[in-house]
Amino acid sequence: MHRRQFLCSISAAGALITLPSFSSSDQKNSVEDLPALEGKLTLYLGRGEGGLYENVLTAIESRNRNLELNIRRGPTAALANAIVAESKAGVQRADLFWAVDSGAIGLMNAEGLSQPIPQDLLSQLKPKFRYTNWAPITGRIRTIPFNTTRIKSTDIPNDIMSLPESGLSIGWAPAYASFQSFVTAMRIIEGEDATSDWLRRVKKTAKSYAGELSVVMGVERGEIDIGFANHYYCLRLKAGKPEATVDLAFTKNDAGCLVNVSGVVALSDKDLSTNFIRYLHTLEVQSYLAHEAYEIPLIEGIAQPHGIPPLDSISPPQIDLTRLSDLNPTLELMRKTGVL
Amino acid sequence: MSLWPRSYPPALAVASFALLPMAVLFLLASDADSFFLEHHLHLLSNTLLLTLGTVLGAMLIGIPLAILTSYVQLPLGALWLIVLAAPLALPSYIGAFTFYAAFGPGGEINNVFGIETPSASGLIGASIVMALYTYPFVLLTTRASILSQDASLINVARTLGMSLPRAIMSITLPRAMPAIATGSLLAALYAISDFGTPAILGVDTFTRDIYIEYNAFGLAKAAVLSIQLLCLVTLVLFLESLFRSEPGNTGQPLSICLKPLHITVVFLTVIPIALLAIMLPLAIFTLWLIRDGSGDFDYQIAWNSTYVSILAATFAVFLALPVAYAAIAGPVGRLFERVTYFGFGIPGIVMGTALVYLSLQLPALYQTLAILVAAYVLRFLPLAVGTVRASAENIDSSMTKAARILGAGPLEVFHRVLLPLTMRGVVAGGALVFLESMRELPATLLLSPAGFETLATYLWRVYEAGYFGRAAIPGLLLVVMSGFGLALLLMGERRAEFGLTNKK
């Protein structure tokens, strides 16, 4: 009943929601069990997720009438730089920083700006995603979008390292942050030499795009057979255009199916900040983001977005995500191989 | 030792103010280890070619439209100018993205009409798209200069048997050269510092490397690269300074009435430009609106954009006046004027961060409306300086001297002679600052007061998320509100016209 009201308040904010059904045993992460949020809170939101994140934030606000939430949106790197500038000037504006990029989180950690996350909050997360000074919110998988009229999923090798020899035409977005995180993962897993070699081999035939949405659009238009992109671009494209001739393939246990996350850093040690993070980890919010934004929930027992196989059936590589913030050696490799 | 011209002290103050973000940039860059990339040469040639292509395109579209909108009496009058200037308010990444989505095999034009079009990409595609979003620089500066010229020269030439096109070519245009050069300079600086268009259309320019470093949290390296980019800005500034003209008399502008047949021909040439630059993005967004549905939209946002932009335009022209007069008064003033341009050649996101550092010097004002307007003024001051200076250059100094001999004090000369004669430049400069502020993004995101959203930040938000249908309404509002702001400014121009001549 109360949950319905929460969802109604989301609906009132303008989105049409059809909800995944919950099993009644999963009540422990519900918004019902959380303390009310009271006071002023400033959130720096490092992405522009249209109405969806807005709807979640609006719903949280309408449940907590005494919460005065200020949101500043911007590119993750620009907000991270602004937070560093503020701390140098002794000004604190942001209580929380929600970043798409584990690189930005690494910068906050390196500058000593992130506050520790309480143990009980960590224990709600899937075991692979527990970190002491930041809280992952949702995940995204590296995927191989492919054109369904030109090739079949079985034509795509399930080993990212042998992809260049598959004879398929490839699209990529080397200047894009998600792609650089993926190359960083490859560098950590396979080593510098193998990664340089891979970059050189792909470069021979690859077509470059500005961003990964463009890569997926390029695949759909048949400009290329396959591409490298985060999973949600394809799912969102298909949501608006169900007849789109594009589908997703996954590699096995390598950087090609890396699961990266967006995460929140607490910059002030208010209880309000950590309690706010608890709201983002609820069943309601996680299911909503999975269902509407096609993001991967990181709390146990919540259904995956439609259109991708369950997280357990994908075999992502084991990697400490904060290590992905070490971007400089990656940029160097990419420049040395002429990719950038 | 002679006394400094009166315009120098305020001009010096404004120039120092304009140099503050540059000082921050140098401080940020000092953190970087020595840093230079070998492949910069390749990027440099791409940047130069794109700049050249953009400037040529902007002149090709902007100059004829300036002649048209200043001389020819068209039905609907000023509405044409408003529509033709509006592309300047649309963010270039929006334009580039819709061009990318509309053209080419599998593009929306192909989907809807079944016509195969070449894809908009590469140097030529990027130059065309960039020209479509920068020609209003040339249009507005050139128009302001043409309107301040005395038409009696052309009338004399025509009485003596010269054809109208030849008279325009050999009388009007040479005298409008400084204004054309200023407009082209602004288009060039825009092309040098823009990231969105070349990135989306697949041209690797200098800004791409700056963005890569910036996004990899290498702020110091991004600052170093931005400073290296300033060499290019210096070159463009030097080239522009080569165009000077003799001052001439100001007076009644030429007014041409066309036959209906000619008007039809004119419309057939003008409409495609407006169609491509404004209608295409709006049409594509509307298509996506129908496909995906729209979200909720808060109309307050449109008003937010409009009034900060009007504030920025007002302050910018106010500060630009002394700089523009100083530039004409002597070589030192000229230097003051030149340095105000540098900020416009710095990529937006780096400039945005420099402005964050700068405004944190006044923590009480950080993230307030006052700081946001100051940031716009700092970013877009050169737009106002350039246009005011270009129209002030045409003023014969004997006018002001005559006024002084007849007993007017310096303030009265400014008020009764100088200002009315440069009013068209002031209005055009204000219009440019207004339109650029409407689409400004990086500084707005970082420096606006809490909860303050503009059309540009809203467009960015839905674009980033891939919800393009939701860009239709704010996109349309951006065009409508720009029209509204321009109409306000043009009313100011008409009042000046009224004061100058007795007709109308």
User: How near does any CA of chain A get to the CA of B472, in Å?
Assistant: 13
SS (H, E, C) A311-340: HHHCCCCCCCHHHHHCCHHHHHHHHHCCCC
To the nearest 10 degrees (0 to 180), the angle between helices B369-392 and B173-193 is 150
Residues 6+ apart with CB under 8 A from B504: B494, B497, B498
Q: Report pLDDT digits (tens) over A61-120.
A: 999 999 999 999 888 889 999 999 999 999 999 999 998 877 788 889 989 999 999 998
Among A86-95, A161-170, A198-207, A237-246, the minimum mean pLDDT is found in A237-246
The answer to whether the Cβ–Cβ distance between B360 and A86 falls below 8 Å is: yes
Q: Report pLDDT digits (tens) over B425-477.
A: 898 899 999 999 999 999 999 999 988 999 999 888 888 776 777 888 888 88
Confidence of residue B501 (pLDDT cuts 50, 70, 90): very low
Confidence check: pLDDT of B296 > 80:
no
Average pLDDT, chain B: 85
The answer to whether the Cβ–Cβ distance between A327 and B216 falls below 8 Å is: yes
User: How near does any CA of chain B get to the CA of A192, in Å?
Assistant: 18
Residues B137, B62 contacting (CB under 8 angstroms): yes
Which one-letter DSSP state was computed for residue B130? H
Please tell me the distance from the alpha carbon of residue B470 to that of residue B459, in angstroms, as a whole number.
8
Confidence check: pLDDT of B373 > 70:
yes
B454 touches chain A (CB under 8 A): no
Please tell me the distance from the alpha carbon of residue B273 to that of residue B61, in angstroms, as a whole number.
8
User: How near does any CA of chain B get to the CA of A78, in Å?
Assistant: 7
Beta strands at A259-266 and A96-99: parallel, antiparallel or unpaired: antiparallel
What is the chain B residue with the closest CA to A94? B450
Q: Do domains A2-139+261-308 and A140-258+315-336 have the same CATH topology?
A: yes
Stretch B165-170: mean pLDDT, rounded? 88
Q: Residue B34's pLDDT is what?
A: 61
The answer to whether the Cβ–Cβ distance between B106 and A220 falls below 8 Å is: yes
Confidence check: pLDDT of A33 > 90:
no
Please tell me the distance from the alpha carbon of residue A238 to that of residue A307, in angstroms, as a whole number.
10
State the count of interchain CB pairs (< 8 A) between A and B: 133
- High-pLDDT (> 90) share of chain B, %: 35
List chain A residues with CB under 8 Å of B461. Answer: 48-50, 73
User: How near does any CA of chain B get to the CA of A158, in Å?
Assistant: 28
Domain assignments of chain B as residue spans, ordered by start = 8-246+259-500
Confidence check: pLDDT of B44 > 90:
no
Q: Residue B251's pLDDT is what?
A: 67
Q: Report pLDDT digits (tens) over A142-162.
A: 999 999 999 999 999 999 999
Confidence check: pLDDT of B39 > 70:
no
Confidence check: pLDDT of B195 > 50:
yes
Q: Report pLDDT digits (tens) over A244-269.
A: 999 999 999 999 999 999 899 999 99
The answer to whether the Cβ–Cβ distance between B445 and A75 falls below 8 Å is: yes
Confidence check: pLDDT of B15 > 90:
yes
To the nearest 10 degrees (0 to 180), the angle between helices B300-329 and B455-465 is 120
Hey, is B212 helix, strand or coil? helix
Average pLDDT, chain A: 86
Confidence of residue B165 (pLDDT cuts 50, 70, 90): confident
Q: Could you give the angle at the alpha carbon of B411 between the alpha carbons of B408 and B415, nearest 5°? A: 90
List chain A residues with CB under 8 Å of B209. Answer: 340
Higher-pLDDT residue of B39, B276: B276
Nearest CA-CA partner of A98 in A143, A51, A142, A41: A41
List chain A residues with CB under 8 Å of B213. Answer: 331
| Interface list for B 183-212 with A (CB within 8 A) | 199-200, 202, 208-209, 211-212
Whose tokens are 């349309």? That residue is B476
Among A17-26, A163-172, B315-324, the minimum mean pLDDT is found in A17-26
What is the chain B residue with the closest CA to A221? B106
What is the chain B residue with the closest CA to A50? B462
| Chain A interface test: which of B39, B117, B212 (most A C-beta within 10 Å) | B212
Measured in degrees and rounded to the nearest 5, phi and psi for residue A42 equal -110, 125
Stretch B48-61: mean pLDDT, rounded? 95
Hey, is A137 helix, strand or coil? strand
* A156's tokens: 């795509």
Tally of CB atoms within 10 A around B183: 36
In this complex, the residue of B215, B295, B446 whose CB is nearest that of residue A50 is B295
Whose tokens are 């059309």? That residue is B455
What is the chain A residue with the closest CA to B366? A91
What is the chain A residue with the closest CA to B206? A340
List chain B residues with CB under 8 Å of A80. Answer: 217
Please tell me the distance from the alpha carbon of residue A20 to that of residue A287, in angstroms, as a whole number.
7
Higher-pLDDT residue of A11, B266: B266
Confidence check: pLDDT of B38 > 80:
no
The answer to whether the Cβ–Cβ distance between B296 and A241 falls below 8 Å is: no
A167 touches chain B (CB under 8 A): no
Whose tokens are 């039905």? That residue is B75
The answer to whether the Cβ–Cβ distance between B106 and A222 falls below 8 Å is: yes
Overall CATH class of domain A140-258+315-336: alpha beta
A328 touches chain B (CB under 8 A): yes
Classified by CATH at the fold level, domain A2-139+261-308 comes out as D-Maltodextrin-Binding Protein; domain 2 (3.40.190)
The answer to whether the Cβ–Cβ distance between B208 and A85 falls below 8 Å is: no
Whose tokens are 């795009």? That residue is A209
What is the chain B residue with the closest CA to A216? B466
What is the chain B residue with the closest CA to A236? B466
Stretch B472-494: mean pLDDT, rounded? 81
Tally of CB atoms within 10 A around B113: 9
Confidence check: pLDDT of A25 > 50:
no
* B129's tokens: 């798209």
Confidence check: pLDDT of A49 > 80:
no
* B213's tokens: 């470093």
| Interface list for B 264-303 with A (CB within 8 A) | 288, 291-292, 295-296
Partner residues linked to B323 by β-bridges = none
B412 touches chain A (CB under 8 A): no
Residues B252, B152 contacting (CB under 8 angstroms): yes
Burial class (CB in 10 A: 0-12, 13-18, 19+), B203: buried
Which one-letter DSSP state was computed for residue B172? I
B106 touches chain A (CB under 8 A): yes
The answer to whether the Cβ–Cβ distance between A331 and B352 falls below 8 Å is: no
List chain A residues with CB under 8 Å of B291. Answer: 240-241
Residues B72, B231 contacting (CB under 8 angstroms): no
Q: Residue B30's pLDDT is what?
A: 86
User: How near does any CA of chain B get to the CA of A296, in Å?
Assistant: 16
Stretch B184-196: mean pLDDT, rounded? 92
Compute the Cα dihedral for B58, B63, B64, B69 and give only its sign. Answer: positive
C-alpha distances in angstroms, B413 versus B316, B320, B334, B391, B397?
22, 18, 21, 17, 11
Q: Residue A52's pLDDT is what?
A: 72
List chain A residues with CB under 8 Å of B216. Answer: 77, 103, 177, 180, 327-328, 331
Q: Residue A51's pLDDT is what?
A: 60
Stretch B363-376: mean pLDDT, rounded? 94
| Interface list for A 74-133 with B (CB within 8 A) | 74-75, 77-82, 85-86, 88-91, 93, 103-104, 107
Please tell me the distance from the alpha carbon of residue B80 to that of residue B266, in angstroms, as a whole number.
12
Which uninterrupted H or E stretch holds B128? Answer: helix B122-132
Domain assignments of chain A as residue spans, ordered by start = 2-139+261-308, 140-258+315-336
Residues 6+ apart with CB under 8 A from A101: A46, A76, A77, A177, A181, A262
Confidence of residue A141 (pLDDT cuts 50, 70, 90): very high
* A43's tokens: 């959130």
User: How near does any CA of chain B get to the CA of A165, in Å?
Assistant: 25
What is the chain B residue with the closest CA to A79? B446
User: How near does any CA of chain B get to the CA of A98, in Å?
Assistant: 15
Beta strands at A135-147 and A246-249: parallel, antiparallel or unpaired: antiparallel
DSSP string, B333-375: HHHHHHHTTGGGGS-HHHHHHHHHHHHTTSGGGTTSHHHHHHH
Q: Report pLDDT digits (tens) over B241-256.
A: 888 766 666 667 777 7
Residues 6+ apart with CB under 8 A from B194: B92, B130, B207, B347
| Chain B interface test: which of A83, A92, A105, A221 (most B C-beta within 10 Å) | A221
DSSP string, B439-503: H--HHHHHHSPTT---HHHHHHHHHHHT-GGGGHHHHHHHHHHHHHHHHHHHHHHHHHHHHH-S-
What is the signed CA dihedral for A188, A192, A195, A201, rounded to 10 degrees?
180
Partner residues linked to A297 by β-bridges = A138
The answer to whether the Cβ–Cβ distance between A48 and B461 falls below 8 Å is: yes
Give counts: helices (H), strands (E), chain B: 25, 2
Nearest CA-CA partner of B85 in B127, B138, B128: B138
Q: Report pLDDT digits (tens) over A266-290.
A: 999 999 999 999 999 999 999 999 9
Among A247-251, B12-16, B409-413, the minimum mean pLDDT is found in B409-413
Nearest CA-CA partner of B457 in A184, A48, A249, A231: A48
- Residues B8-246+259-500, CATH architecture: Orthogonal Bundle (1.10)
| Interface list for B 218-257 with A (CB within 8 A) | 218-219
Hey, is B121 helix, strand or coil? coil
List chain B residues with CB under 8 Å of A49. Answer: 461, 464-465
Please tell me the distance from the alpha carbon of residue B271 to that of residue B262, in angstroms, as a whole number.
14
| Interface list for A 197-236 with B (CB within 8 A) | 208-210, 213-214, 217, 220-223, 233, 236
The answer to whether the Cβ–Cβ distance between B107 and A50 falls below 8 Å is: no
Confidence check: pLDDT of B334 > 80:
yes
The ipTM of this complex is 0.85
Please tell me the distance from the alpha carbon of residue B119 to that of residue B125, in angstroms, as a whole number.
8
* A160's tokens: 């990212």
Stretch A299-326: mean pLDDT, rounded? 84
* B279's tokens: 């209608």
| Interface list for A 297-316 with B (CB within 8 A) | none
